[in-house]
Amino acid sequence: MATTAPNLPIYIRPGNLQTSSAIEARVHRKLAGAFRRYGAKMTAVEVHFEDVNGQKHGGENTRCVMEARVNGRIPIAVRAGASDLYAAIDAAARKLDAAISKAVERRHTRARRRFRQERGRDDAPARSAATGVQGHAPVTSDGPLADEPQSDRRKKVIIAGYGPVGRALAEELRKLAVPFTVVDTNPATVRTQETLGVSVLCGDATDPEVLRAAGIETAAAFAVTIPDGDEAVRACAAARTLAPEVHIAARITFLSQGIGALTAGANTITVEEIATAKSMARKVSQQVAEAGIAATSRPPPAPARL
């Protein structure tokens, strides 16, 4: 029997035990805490009951198994036995909460590490420009796609959003002869691009059904170029749930959203406010150099980075 909590499907499989509305309510109540903390990262929870000893009494007569999927990754499963089903549900819920907390913290740690690495790579061109030494190219949504192995480059790329960034990426993919499909919410854009022969789908890139229709499960890469940073994070999470192996490159508006995008499943990010700051710094520095403006005093030390 399947029951559904608000925004989170909870499927109860009673097995060889008889369930009841009281037991189902107990399951939902015990999982409420995990849902409040991790609901945005969870897609569903399955709860299995089992009669262990049959007609025998004493010891662990019942067993409860709970399985949750977090961010589309390998399911997290726990089990607990007790003398009655209510106690088994309570114990399993505690174990599941702890297991999800541990998995989410590991993912946050990896996301923070990747975020620091991304910022370090983004800082390299600015430092190199100041010293006249060529550094690494900044991380952008289209950069990693050109480095894909030849076998992967024959697969389709999905572009979420067809504004200036999405169109620029599409043009680069055309040069590389890489097939792509566009997902955009603007019907006028979709109609226009269809007449131009572009593979395009009208829909919301945060909707799993739209992503399935676009072919996310077999795509080589998913480029999120929509201008709303919060929607971009949700699109990353939806895509990662459906396609654990797809490369996700995301355009993010603010630095504060960067960790959120990486945690949601993005492999690489382009932060608009950082890109804008670096572009402006390069332009101003170039103008200062061309005008021959000399420093009249020792510049103040740069603030320490936390």
Q: Where are the domains of the chain?
A: 2-104, 139-289
User: Band of the pLDDT at 147, cuts 50, 70, 90?
Assistant: very low
Predicted pLDDT of residue 297: 52
* 171, pLDDT greater than 80: yes
Q: Three-state DSSP class for 157?
A: strand
The identity of residue 60, as a single letter, is: E
Q: Which residue has the higher pLDDT, 295 or 234?
A: 234
> Residues 159, 166: contact at Cβ < 8 Å?
yes
Name the E strands within the chain.
Answer: 2-5, 8-13, 42-51, 62-70, 76-82, 157-160, 180-184, 200-202, 221-224, 247-252, 268-271
Q: Which residue has the higher pLDDT, 185 or 257?
A: 185
**Strand (E) or helix (H) holding 294:** none
Average the pLDDT over 41-69 and give the result. Answer: 76
236 — alpha (psi -120 to 50), left (phi > 0) or beta? Answer: alpha
Task: Give burial (CB, 10 Å; 0-12/13-18/19+) of 100.
Answer: buried
Predicted pLDDT of residue 150: 42
153's tokens = 């480059």
CATH 3.40.190.10 fits 2-104, yes or no: no
* Superfamily of domain 139-289 in the CATH hierarchy: NAD(P)-binding Rossmann-like Domain (3.40.50.720)
| Model confidence pLDDT, tens digit, residues 182-199 | 999 998 999 999 999 999
Claim: this prediction has a pTM higher than 0.85: no
28's tokens = 């939902």
106's tokens = 């590991």
Average the pLDDT over 26-32 and give the result. Answer: 86
* 306, pLDDT greater than 70: no
> Residues 21, 1: contact at Cβ < 8 Å?
no
